[in-house]
Amino acid sequence: MAFGAVEATASEATAMLRALLRPALAPGLAARPPGGTASHADQAALATGELVDVLGRARGALLRLAEVARTLDASSGMSVFSAAIVRSSDPGAVRGRVLAGLDLARHPAGADWRIRVSRLAAAQKNAGTGVPSGGVGALTAGPHVVRIVQAGTSSDVRFTVHGGETNAQALARFAAAVNDAAGLGVRASVIGDEAADMSRLVLTARATGATQAFAVTDLDGSAVAEAGVATATTRAANAVYTLDGAVLTAETNVIRIGPDGRVEITLAGLTADTVGVSVAANVARIGAAVTALVRSYNAARRFFDAHADLFAGTAAALRSLGSRFRAALGSVGAAPGGGGGLALDDVALGAALRDALPMVRDALGGEAGLAAALAGLAERQLAAAGGGLEPLPGAGYTTHPAMHQGVTASRWPPRLLDAVV
């Protein structure tokens, strides 16, 4: 096979590339015994410069295996074993979600909490009087100063109504002045009814709860009285609910419960009876992660077994882990399948997740479990190869002159080219 102007046989190319790559791929790259020959497939790949593709696929297989395995590592707060869902007997009135960092071990199975909602938190609203949108004079022309007092803080809002402006325009000036006031916990809007040609100003607290109540009065002019927004049409209120029999209040309709405050509950409606709320493992996510792990393991086994003359150490390690964890795999319905891979029984997996989740967690996600072992293997092989199956620059590699003529930057990783001296 010709590399530029230099001729090299397949076996010479194999030896040449081994000399270049062995320092970076050890121990994944096996040393060939003297006089050994590559398979026909490896001869073709090496002799035509396609080893780059092989290395890229090896790196991809290891990265995918490490990524998937780490999702099952129970020591991580982001593990699927830490993922949970909130179940409610009345999700229309009480629903929830689990926040990151929840420790499922602190939440026993079953209905953890009983909640009854007797009042929802509300934001104060002052809905004004409707006035003809296209008419004029609803608000007196001239300057206006409106004082809004909320949570012990007074804010004065100023605006001017110009003569000849429509009522809709005058109300819009009022609303804009309120919304432009820095730090004010009240927002304003103009609600229009085009069919009836009517508009009204509405002032609403930005947050729910009794402490967010506000009062609005005229300091200069009469805009508050003329717009009809001096009185609350919806009063500010706290939520009132019972949690396991204890009567509690909250400024908002979103509360946090549980020993670590990692369960967020939304009170969405009033309830005549108590609502059961529980936290459970997200078995659907765990099952998907187990399936992905089996698929990634099978893909890695197929690849490294097919290239065992280049990656004998990695291929052997994957086979060894498959045998070592046979019992753990069997506990989730994974058994030896064709081609040295694993066959997953979805029914058996579902039963294990439903009836023996702690055992599955220990076997797969424990400190000495399969996921940690597979992730560790993949990450060690990647690290041994300079972080991605590429030699580290400055290592003093030498290579056949043909490499400089036959391998271009478009087909060889830049870090590998930089390492060639």
Whether 233 maps to a domain, the answer reads no
Residue 137 has pLDDT above 90, yes or no: yes
Mean pLDDT of the chain: 81
Percentage, residues of the chain above pLDDT 70: 76
Q: How far is CA 32 from CA 11, 13, 309, in A?
A: 11, 13, 8
Q: Between the ranges 80-84, 110-114, 329-333, 415-419, where is the mean pLDDT highest?
A: 329-333
Evaluate whether 230 touches 217 at the Cβ level (below 8 Å). yes
132 φ, ψ (degrees, to nearest 5)? -60, 125
* Predicted pLDDT of residue 26: 43
How wide is the angle at C-alpha 156 spanned by C-alphas 151 and 162, nearest 5°?
A: 145
* Predicted pLDDT of residue 22: 46
Whether 324 maps to a domain, the answer reads yes
Whether 132 maps to a domain, the answer reads yes
**More confident: 158 or 310:** 158
* Predicted pLDDT of residue 397: 29
**Do 295 and 275 share a domain, yes or no?**
no
pLDDT digits (tens, 9 = 90+) for 206-231: 999 999 999 999 999 999 999 999 99
Closest C-alpha among 298, 171, 186 to residue 227:
171
Evaluate whether 190 touches 175 at the Cβ level (below 8 Å). yes
**Do 334 and 305 share a domain, yes or no?**
yes
- Identify the domain containing residue 139 by its residue range: 125-227
Q: How far is CA 224 from CA 125, 151, 219, 275, in A?
A: 14, 20, 9, 43
Which range among 29-38, 234-243, 278-287, 347-356 shows the weakest confidence by mean pLDDT? 29-38
* Predicted pLDDT of residue 340: 77
Evaluate whether 157 touches 177 at the Cβ level (below 8 Å). yes
Which phi-psi region, left, alpha or beta, contains residue 241 (left: φ > 0; alpha: ψ -120 to 50)? beta
Whether 411 maps to a domain, the answer reads yes
Residue 7 has pLDDT above 60, yes or no: no
* DSSP per-residue letters across 374-385: HHHHHHHHHHHT
SS3 32: coil
d(CA 5, CA 131): 91
pLDDT digits (tens, 9 = 90+) for 17-73: 454 444 444 444 444 444 445 555 555 444 445 667 788 888 999 999 999 999 998
Strand partners, 86: 279
382 band by pLDDT with thresholds 50, 70 and 90: confident
Tally of structural domains, the chain:
3
**More confident: 269 or 41:** 269
**Do 293 and 392 share a domain, yes or no?**
yes
d(CA 25, CA 18): 9
Which range among 9-18, 57-66, 98-107, 254-263 shows the weakest confidence by mean pLDDT? 9-18
**Do 411 and 309 share a domain, yes or no?**
yes
Q: Which two tokens stand for residue 308?
A: 């065992």
Amino acid at 138: A
**Do 17 and 134 share a domain, yes or no?**
no
Strand partners, 363: none
* Predicted pLDDT of residue 43: 53
Whether 328 maps to a domain, the answer reads yes
Torsion from C-alpha of 302, 303, 307, 313, nearest 10 degrees: -90
Q: Between the ranges 40-44, 134-138, 260-264, where is the mean pLDDT highest?
A: 134-138
15 band by pLDDT with thresholds 50, 70 and 90: low
d(CA 80, CA 69): 11
Q: State mean pLDDT over 248-255.
A: 98
**Do 326 and 392 share a domain, yes or no?**
yes
d(CA 56, CA 64): 12
**Do 34 and 62 share a domain, yes or no?**
yes
pLDDT digits (tens, 9 = 90+) for 119-128: 999 999 999 9
Q: State mean pLDDT over 138-162.
A: 97
DSSP state of 68: H
**Do 222 and 242 share a domain, yes or no?**
no
Strands 125-127, 113-119: pairing is: unpaired
**Do 309 and 412 share a domain, yes or no?**
yes
Evaluate whether 88 touches 275 at the Cβ level (below 8 Å). yes
Whether 232 maps to a domain, the answer reads no
Residue 405 has pLDDT above 70, yes or no: no
**Do 112 and 148 share a domain, yes or no?**
no
Closest C-alpha among 196, 141, 191, 199 to residue 168:
199
Closest C-alpha among 110, 83, 111, 113 to residue 97:
83
331 band by pLDDT with thresholds 50, 70 and 90: confident
**More confident: 15 or 276:** 276
Evaluate whether 138 touches 131 at the Cβ level (below 8 Å). yes
- What CATH number has the domain bearing residue 135? 2.60.40
* DSSP per-residue letters across 337-349: -GGG-EEE-HHHH
Amino acid at 402: A
* DSSP per-residue letters across 384-400: HTTTTT-PPTTS-B---
Evaluate whether 68 touches 290 at the Cβ level (below 8 Å). no
Whether 398 maps to a domain, the answer reads yes
* Predicted pLDDT of residue 136: 95
Q: State mean pLDDT over 186-199.
A: 96
Q: Which two tokens stand for residue 278?
A: 């529980």
Residue 389 has pLDDT above 70, yes or no: no
**Do 361 and 408 share a domain, yes or no?**
yes
d(CA 144, CA 51): 79
* Predicted pLDDT of residue 381: 87
Whether 202 maps to a domain, the answer reads yes
Q: Using a cut of 0.85, tell me whether the model's pTM lies above it.
A: no
d(CA 167, CA 132): 7
**More confident: 102 or 287:** 287
**Do 148 and 34 share a domain, yes or no?**
no
Question: Alpha helix locations (H) across 325-369?
Answer: 326-331, 346-355, 357-360
